[in-house]
Structure 1
């Protein structure tokens, strides 16, 4: 009991800047007529538009949406510089037509499972495609300067991929690593060669990349493997445990500049953000945080962009007027 009380007392309440909040999430349609028609045939139901994860690039906030009957698309964006409203309408990315086609197989985007922005000004999209009884996936890579597709690669085998990490030290020779939640395999994609290869591995539900290694969870323990081994070997067995850390990487952001891993417990119905020194041999100025007094909200995503930590929260209460909150926390200021 004493340890529990000490934990509560060491949680710092921070004044994060509220950027957006949504009571209901609405979409930008090609016309009012299209919107009304989709409401009538129930292919658009506002209650089915639920935010899953986010990514930030310059003044754009990319938003991944859950696939549902009344959710006609799964990838959109809003402008972070738009101060005209706290509840902006979501704009389909890269366009409305990318999510719709008369022929299902001709659609560009089906059901987005993961999004990542790399340092080379590209958006990586892991898309899920249901084909009868099988589920396939594709990687779609966008040039964020033009919003045009650089590459689209469809995986040859069915599966259920939910985690993705990008190794982008070399913009011309970038690698994507995706995990298959069913088989436990890791799939390595080479942008330069435009090909994938499979490596048997553990079941991985979350990944982060740093220091030439992929880090992932097994329980709360953190394991890692060098990406060079994943790129070159057909059977990697030397996954090592990072013994100085116990943290949930599913909702996390790594700040190598400050040697801090920010993370939230996915099983905690709270809006606490925990911190730990990533390299235990080096000092870090860490404090666990609580986002104000919003006790009916849960942290669902953390994104680090330069010196700003972005936080997405979702309500835990059916009675709450606000469904989602999106904050920013300046890491250059004294917290």
Structure 2
């Protein structure tokens, strides 16, 4: 499959060393540039923070030094600024690619449209599946669990004391209460054993919790997450776990990334420290299949400057210059 990062990144599963040296790859000092179609009518489109497309792809093998233009995925048409048209992507949030090459996109919806789960076939760029939720707004992130009995998505919503569970095979979604916990970022650990753990951060605190996913699949209405540990910062914005069990966490309004080896007692380590950058919404990071950690950050001290950084666990090559 062509090595695209969809909505900046496709998530892979490769471990990194504890300490990492990031190299800036791209910078957009005057705002992000887009691959515009010939029809000038699309120039008037707007999305959150003035970005006209909520879901884009980036060819990471580019050897050019200027920052590349971003391509809306799967087409410009699905990003038209029509808040009342529920057949358009309104606000793309969490993303993940499954093992059979499908991109799952969590769409927060609009005042007129309920939240939606889009599933795209990356071989054809066509929509494979659409699930409409019974609510809209506050959607933040999702992780996938692929089992012999089906594929499940676990979803967090800002300011809600529950998580959302979706079963693809049944085309059903339901909420699981998490009393006194407002889950924000989410990560799934799939060890080489039966019990899989879902990790949740509490938005208002620095607490990290875990839940066994077996009860979630079976339709439990209330979960009681267990406290794992305390990050040094509150409001964990993004988390991911690689296939060696290392968790990476980025925090809202912080310019560093921490990691934790989940096979050991909770003890975080700093793997990246930014130089004068403020990580603000939106930003994300992911591991690709080549062992490269990609991170998008936004610096808005004076004006929005978008940067994409990368660091490799092994040998790697630059795909552009700052």
Scaled by the length of structure 1, what TM-score is found?
0.73
Equivalent residue in structure 2 for 1:224, among 202, 210, 214: 210
Is residue 204 from structure 1 mapped to residue 183 from structure 2 by the alignment? yes
Higher share of residues assigned helix: 1
Helix, strand or coil at the partner of 1:317: coil
Question: Partner residue of 1:264?
Answer: 250
Question: Partner residue of 2:227?
Answer: 241
Gaps of 5+ in 2: 1-17, 191-195, 316-322
Higher RCO, 1 vs 2 (CA within 8 Å, ≥6 residues apart) = 2
Question: Distance in 1 between the 2:158 and 2:271 partners?
Answer: 31
Question: Partner residue of 2:22?
Answer: 16
Helix, strand or coil at the partner of 2:114: strand
Cα deviation per residue 1:71-98 (whole Å; 9 max; x = unaligned)?
3321111111122243111111100111
Equivalent residue in structure 1 for 2:62, among 82, 89, 99: 82
Helix, strand or coil at the partner of 1:205: strand
Question: Distance in 2 between the 1:188 and 1:165 partners?
Answer: 10
Question: Distance in 2 between the 1:297 and 1:101 partners?
Answer: 29
Map 1:81-230 onto structure 2 (within 5 A). 81-100=61-80, 104-105=84-85, 107-132=87-112, 136-158=114-136, 160-170=138-148, 173-201=150-178, 202-211=181-190, 212-218=196-202, 219-230=205-216
Cα deviation per residue 1:170-193 (whole Å; 9 max; x = unaligned)?
5x7111112333442322111111
**1:33 and 1:316, CA in 2 relative to 1: closer, same or farther beyond 3 A?**
closer
Question: Distance in 2 between the 1:103 and 1:252 partners?
Answer: 29
Pairwise CA RMSD of aligned residues? Answer: 3.2
**Does the aligned pair in 1 maintain the 2:101–2:123 contact within 8 Å?**
yes
Scaled by the length of structure 2, what TM-score is found?
0.76
Question: Distance in 1 between the 2:27 and 2:83 partners?
Answer: 35
Cα deviation per residue 1:51-82 (whole Å; 9 max; x = unaligned)?
xxxxxxxxxxxxxxx625x4332111111112
Helix, strand or coil at the partner of 2:40: helix
Aligned residues between the structures = 285
Q: Which moved more, 1:104-113 or 1:301-310?
A: 104-113
**Does the aligned pair in 1 maintain the 2:108–2:137 contact within 8 Å?**
no
